[in-house]
Amino acid sequence: MTGKARDAYFCALAARVTTAARIRCEGLPVKRLARQHTEILRLADKPHLSDRWDTIDPYCVWITYRLEVGATEPTWEAVVSGYRVLSNGVIDMDARSITLRSGTDEGATPDWLTGLIEQYTPASW
């Protein structure tokens, strides 16, 4: 399965699981703990992204924003998917992903990703 097909599969799976969870919870007393919002963006012509183990040529990012009850600012998690870049610079067809989080990885987040995170932050919750 290619990386793009895998992303589409997991997106559809998440939608089914979320819908099933809502149906099971209807009628039960609930208390909101947080709100969450996800943006899925296709990337083109972005520089390679590296962590301690991999370097990837990014093609997609899932940015998940979360606002806890009582918090004034949301947190974020960005999962950047891309094709692995081999040590000789050749782009492999092996898909990988790198996860960055607010609070812990803000210094390691590239400017292009910081811009997208700021651009797509929900204006209202």
Cβ atoms of residues 62 and 39 within 8 Å: yes
User: Percent of the chain scored above 70 by pLDDT?
Assistant: 90
Residue 6 has pLDDT above 90, yes or no: no
Residue at 60 is within a domain: yes
Mean of all residue pLDDT scores within the chain: 88
- Report the number of distinct structural domains present in the chain: 2
pLDDT band at 44 (very low <50, low <70, confident <90, very high): very high
Domain extent at residue 107: 31-120
- pLDDT at 15 (0 to 100): 75
Give the integer Cα–Cα distance in Å for 119 and 111: 12
Please give the residue that has the higher pLDDT: either 25 or 116.
116
42/7 same-domain check: no
Average pLDDT over residues 104-110: 88
Residue at 110 is within a domain: yes
Residue 11 has pLDDT above 80, yes or no: no
Residues in the chain: 125
73/41 same-domain check: yes
- pLDDT at 3 (0 to 100): 73
2/60 same-domain check: no
25/51 same-domain check: no
